[in-house]
Each structure stands twice: as C-alpha cells, then as structure tokens.
Structure 1
Amino acid sequence: MTPFDTRRLIGDLVVTLDADVLGGAYPDRDLPQEPAPHILARHDITAGAVASLRAALFDMASGNDETLASAAGGTALPAAESSAHGEPPAAGGAAVVPVGALDLRDPLGAVREMERLAALGVRAVRLFPDEQGVEAGFPSVRHVAGRAAALGLTVLTGGDVRRFWQPFTGLGLRVVFLDTHFYHLGDFLVAAADEPGFHTSTRLLNSPDALETVAGEIGADRLLFGSRTPYYEPLVPLLRLATGDLKPDEVALVAGGNARRLLLGEPS
C-alpha cells in the first residue's frame, strides 16, 4: 500500500500568518509536547497570531505581557507558561504576531486592558466565550465589542457563529469567527452578507466545497487560515486549502494576505 503523502499534496503552499494560535496551557489538558512556533515552522507556516491562555483564564495583564515579550524576542510562548517554570520562551520557529486575550467575565477590566494594549500597538484582541462560560447575549460581549470598534481593533472570537454574530452587528467592526463549522456555514454567510467586516477562520471548513462556497458568495477576502496550534493539527486545514479549487490569488489571500491586512494593517 502506498503511504499517504501529505507533503506532496500540500506542495509548495506557504502560510504567511496563521490567525488562530494559542500560547500557554489549559488547566485541564496535557501540555503540548512541542511549542507552537516549532510546529508552525515544520508546516511552512511562517508566522502565527498568538493569544495567551493565561490571559484568557487567569490574569489578563501578565498573560498578555508574556505574549508581547515573546513577540519582541521573535519567538512564541512555550507550551508551558514561562513564568510558572522560570524558563525563557522557546527559541526559533515561526514569528509571533501578538493578539491580546480578554476576559469577558470582567468587562470593565477587559476594556481597560484593551485600551492598554492598543496604546502599545496591538491591533487585535481575542475572545474566549466558551472557556469563560459567557453567552452571546451577556452585556459584557456587546460592551467589549463596542469599545473594540471605537479603538479600531480587529476581534477574533470563538463561540458558535449562529449566536455570536449578533453582538457584533451594526458596529462597523472587523471580526474573525474562529469556530465556524461547515455545518453552520450557511448561517455565517447570511450574517456576513450584511456585515462586510465579518470574516471566518478555515479551521473547521473541511467539507469538499466550503472554502469555494465562501469565495463565491462573499469573496475569498473573508477567509483566514487558522489551525489552533498547538491544540489542533494544522495538517487538515493545510490540506483543504492546498487541494481545493480556489484560484492562486485567492489561496494567497487565505494563506496570510487577509490576516496580514486585518492583524498587521498591510495592504491586500
């Protein structure tokens, strides 16, 4: 039997910015065996938008400061939080684009942290509603979304898109829905048709025509490659992008062009 050659199928695809990367550890999961930047680099992903689980789950300021320090040092957070073990961040691997993680359980503190990060040049924040037990109708979500819009920040958010689209409407906000499942793609497309700032990660769009459907309905400029490294396997979204029917210029947008526009302010 001929082995399944993923490298041959992926070919020369290079992702220049992965929009969904995590630094640090979940308290109830095993630590990843390899730091995220090393995993990304092995898969020809040259940069990752990293958000801190420490900031999301424990302390916003110290967690986000770790991410900022890792970006300044050209590395990403190690699998285990460096402050807990007294070890420096892992060297080498993909570059880090810092994303501020916010705690929606503390909306006033989240706004203060967002303002602090914006003053430091951070261009995007990430929301963790599922991990924090926050529902789309909670006042905190709309409050944080409104302030993010006023600050000109891009919001990356988890959560079921069928509910979490609602608090971001009518604000002129740039939002990337990180958990859009191909079963729910129709709902995303209906919502995004009226909201030009709505974008989606490709992580769970693994049906045979999901990426092509988005490109045909609202444009490939609404798709961002995401892998959720190191807690998910980047091979699946890489294979889907490399073997699909998007045009080369559309692949380039999805493989980093759109993320660099939203998260770094680069032209398309």
Structure 2
Amino acid sequence: MTTFDAEALLGDLSVSMDIDVLVGAYPDRDGPPGDPGSVLGLLEANRVRGAAVASLRAALFDLVQGNDEVLGLDWATPVGTLDLRDPLGSVRELDRLAGLGVRAVRLFPDEQGVEAGFPSVRHVARRAAALGLTILTGGDVRRFWQPFTGLGATVVFLDTHFYHLGDFLVCAADEPGFHTSTRLLNSPDALETVVAELGAERLLYGSRTPLYETVVPLLRLATSGLKPDELLAVAGGNARRLLA
C-alpha cells in the first residue's frame, strides 16, 4: 500500500493569511477544541502564519464579550462578529468595532437562523459598506449575494461550493467587490476557473479551522495550476490587502 504523503504534495507552500478561522465552540454539539491555544497550534502545524479570526461565542450568544476576546488575541487579525437577529444592536457594534480599528466583520446567517431576504441583512450590510469594512459572510451564495448588491461593498463569500460556482461567477462579474473563499472549491478546476474568469485577486484561502480539516484546502491550492504569483495572492496576499 502506498502511503499518502501530504508534505510532498504541499512542497514549499505556506499561507500568510487564512481568511476563515474561528475560536470558541458550539455549546450543543461535539467538536474539536476551539480555545485560542489549540486553534493556533493547528494553524502552525498546517503552515498557516496569519489568520483572520472571529468568535463563535459572539455569533451564538454574547456579541460584545465574544468580540472583545478576539480583540485580545495577540496572534490574530481580529474579525468582528455581528448578530443579524439584532440589526440595531449590530449597527451599534459595527460603529464600536470600527472605532477600535477593526477592518472586517463576519456574518453567521445559518447559525442565527437568518435568511438573505430578511431586512436585517441589508441594514447591516449597508452600514458596514458605508464604514468601508470588509464583510465576511456565510450562507448559500445563490441567495446571499442579493443583500450586498449595489452597495460598493467588499464581500468574501465563505461558503461558495463548487456546485454553485457558476452562480458566484455570474453575480461577481457585476460586483467587483465580491470575492470567494477557497474552502469548498475542491473540484479539479474550481480555483483555476475563478482565476480565469475574475482574476486571482478575487480568491482567498480559507480553511474554517478548527471545524474542518485545515490541510484539505491547502492541498487543493498546492496541487492547482495557479502560477507562483497567483498562489501568493490567494494564500494570503489578497486577505492582507483587504484587511489592511
């Protein structure tokens, strides 16, 4: 039996910024350790040197305290979390986070039971765009592209599945601020298709550590047909530019 050698496939690839990292845990389900030390250890073991980190605590039940915990991590680029169940409180939190120098905010529509057509999503998106913040959002891109159109917003869709890549490409062609994470683009040509259609600057490495296998999107990127400069952009250069 041939032993699978991930290190050989990875070559010298490393990630300077992972756009999709979480700390915390779901209180109602089993899962990997989500404490900051364990998450940092996983990143380091998988060649990830920098991470944009958001808080599950903030997403699920304690917005301000969860965000403050992320702001206190000296190894992370903090991403503020918003609660779409409370649009007025989320706008207040947006203003607070922007005043503290946070450059990105994250939306958790699935975890919060919020649909793309809810007024809260458009309300929060409009304010985040007006503040010049990058928006990281979960949710099915076939629905969640709609609240962000026409705002001039910079948005990274974290859950774009390769089954739905065509829908992302169609809407992103008309919205230069639309970007996608690599996490679920695991088909043989998905990464290459994004770069061919939109350019490498619209694609960002994301792993959702610690909830998913960090090495899977890393292997897909390492074995892609992207050029060296495109690999550098996807493996962190684009994320660092959007979060600067």
* TM-score (norm. length: structure 1): 0.89
2:217 aligned with 1:214, yes or no? no
For the 8 Å contact 2:158–2:180, the answer to whether it is kept is yes
Is 1:66 the counterpart of 2:46? The answer is no
Distance across 1 between alignment mates of 2:42 and 2:97:
27
Count of paired positions: 241
Amino acid at match of 1:118: A
Alignment of 1:129-168 (within 5 A): 129-168=109-148
- Residues 133 and 154 in structure 2, CA contact (< 8 A), matched pair in contact too: yes
- Report what 1:26 is aligned to: 26
Partner of 2:147, secondary structure, is helix
1:45-194 correspondence to structure 2 within 5 Å = 45-70=48-73, 74=74, 95-194=75-174
Structure 2: which 5+ runs fail to align? none
Q: Identity rate of aligned residues, in percent?
A: 75
Match of 2:206 among 226, 236, 239: 226
**3-state SS of paired residue (1:228):** coil
Deviations, residues 35-80 of structure 1 (Å, cap 9, x unaligned): 211100001100111100111111111000000011xxx2xxxxxx
In structure 2, how many angstroms separate the alpha carbons of the residues matched to 1:27 and 1:167?
29
Task: Provide the rounded CA distance (Å) in 2 between the counterparts of 1:259 and 1:214.
Answer: 16
After TM superposition, give the deviation of residue 129 of structure 1 in Å. 0.1
1:31 Cα deviation after fit: 4.1
Aligned mates of 2:25, 2:82 — CA distance in 1 = 16
Two-structure CA RMSD over aligned residues (Å): 0.8
**Could you report, residue by residue, the CA deviation over 1:208-265 in whole angstroms, capped at 9, with x for unpaired residues?**
00000000001110000000000000111001100110000000000000000111x2
Structure 1 partner of 2:225: 245
Moved over 6 A (4+): none
Shift, 1:105, TM fit? 0.1
- The TM-score with structure 2 as length reference comes to 0.97
Task: Tell me the CA shift for residue 3 of structure 1.
Answer: 0.4
CA distance in 1, matches of 2:11, 2:29: 33
Q: Which amino acid aligns with 1:245?
A: G
Letter of the 1:125 partner, please give it.
V
Give the letter for the 2:238 counterpart: N
